[in-house]
Structure 1
Amino acid sequence: MSASTLPTIDLSLWRTGDRRSRERLAAAVDGALERAGFLLVTGHGVPPGLPAAIRAAARMFFHQPVDAKLPFLAQAGQYGWRGPGAVATGRAEGLVTPPDLLETWSVAPGPYDDTAALPAGAGPVGSGLLPETWPSQPQALRPLLALYARSMRALADELLELLAAALRRPLDFFTRHTTRPDWTLTLNWYPAVTTAGAPRPGQFRVGPHTDFGTITVLDRQPGKGGLQIHTEDGGWQDAPYDPEALTVNIGDLMARWTGDRWRSGRHRVPAPPADAPSEELMSLVYFYDCDPYTVVESLPAPIGRVSHSPVTARAYVRSKVAEIALP
Structure 2
Amino acid sequence: MEFHVPIIDITPYVSGGDATARREVARQLDEAARTVGFMQITGHAVPRPVIDGFAAALDAFFALDLDSKKQYRTPPAINRGYSPPKSESLSLSLGVESATRMNDFFEAFNIGASTADYPGLELPADDYAENLWPQQVPQFRAPVQAYFAEAARVARTLTLAFADALELPAGYFGDYTDHSLDVLRMNNYALPPGTIDLDGDLTGMGEHTDYGIVTVLWADQAPGLQVLGADGSWHDVQPADGALLVNLGDLMARWTNERWLSTLHRVKPPIVDGAIQRRRSAAYFHDGNIDALIETLPSCVGDGSKYEPVTVADHIRAKLAGSRAGQPNTNATREAARVLAAAEQSGDRA
Give the alignment's TM-score, normalised by structure 2: 0.83
Distance in 1 (alpha carbons) for counterparts of 2:153 and 2:68: 34
* Residues 183, 290 of structure 1: 8 Å contact kept: yes
Distance in 1 (alpha carbons) for counterparts of 2:301 and 2:18: 25
* Residues 261, 305 of structure 1: 8 Å contact kept: no
State the 1:276 CA deviation: 6.5
- Equivalences for residues 95-174 of structure 1 within 5 A: 95-96=98-99, 99-112=103-116, 131-174=130-173
Any unmatched runs of 5+ in structure 2?
A: 327-350
* Residues 85, 326 of structure 1: 8 Å contact kept: no
Residue of structure 1 in register with 2:233 after alignment: 235
Distance in 2 (alpha carbons) for counterparts of 1:131 and 1:279: 33
2:294 is the counterpart of 1:283? no
Deviates more, 1:304-313 or 1:153-162: 304-313
CA spacing shift, 1:99–1:113, aligned 2, 3 Å: closer
Residue of structure 1 in register with 2:66 after alignment: 66
Distance in 1 (alpha carbons) for counterparts of 2:242 and 2:29: 18
Residue of structure 1 in register with 2:186 after alignment: 187
Distance in 1 (alpha carbons) for counterparts of 2:50 and 2:166: 32
Spell out, residue by residue over 1:64-123, the C-alpha distance to the aligned partner (whole angstroms, 9 max, x if none): 222222221122322111111211112234152651011110001221466579x9xxxx
Sequence identity percentage: 30
Deviates more, 1:50-59 or 1:307-316: 50-59
- Equivalences for residues 255-294 of structure 1 within 5 A: 255-275=253-273, 277-294=275-292
Residue of structure 1 in register with 2:315 after alignment: 316
Spell out, residue by residue over 1:256-277, the C-alpha distance to the aligned partner (whole angstroms, 9 max, x if none): 0011110102111014234472
* Residues 193, 278 of structure 1: 8 Å contact kept: no
CA spacing shift, 1:11–1:51, aligned 2, 3 Å: same
Distance in 1 (alpha carbons) for counterparts of 2:117 and 2:269: 42
Deviates more, 1:16-25 or 1:75-84: 16-25
State the 1:214 CA deviation: 0.4
* Residues 98, 200 of structure 1: 8 Å contact kept: no
CA spacing shift, 1:304–1:37, aligned 2, 3 Å: farther
Residue of structure 1 in register with 2:40 after alignment: 40
1:238 counterpart letter in structure 2:
D
1:109 counterpart letter in structure 2:
A
1:86 counterpart letter in structure 2:
S
Any unmatched runs of 5+ in structure 1?
A: 120-128
CA spacing shift, 1:207–1:43, aligned 2, 3 Å: same
State the 1:278 CA deviation: 5.0
Residue of structure 1 in register with 2:338 after alignment: none
Distance in 1 (alpha carbons) for counterparts of 2:284 and 2:317: 16
State the 1:36 CA deviation: 1.2
Deviates more, 1:268-277 or 1:239-248: 268-277
Distance in 2 (alpha carbons) for counterparts of 1:275 and 1:171: 53
Residue of structure 2 in register with 1:122 after alignment: none
The secondary structure found in structure 2 opposite 1:31 is helix
CA spacing shift, 1:206–1:49, aligned 2, 3 Å: same
CA spacing shift, 1:65–1:304, aligned 2, 3 Å: farther
State the 1:197 CA deviation: 3.2
Number of aligned residue pairs: 315
CA spacing shift, 1:32–1:305, aligned 2, 3 Å: farther
Q: 2:295 aligns with which of 294, 297, 300?
A: 297
Distance in 2 (alpha carbons) for counterparts of 1:23 and 1:238: 30
State the 1:208 CA deviation: 0.8
Give the alignment's TM-score, normalised by structure 1: 0.88
State the 1:305 CA deviation: 6.3
The secondary structure found in structure 2 opposite 1:72 is coil
* Residues 105, 186 of structure 1: 8 Å contact kept: yes
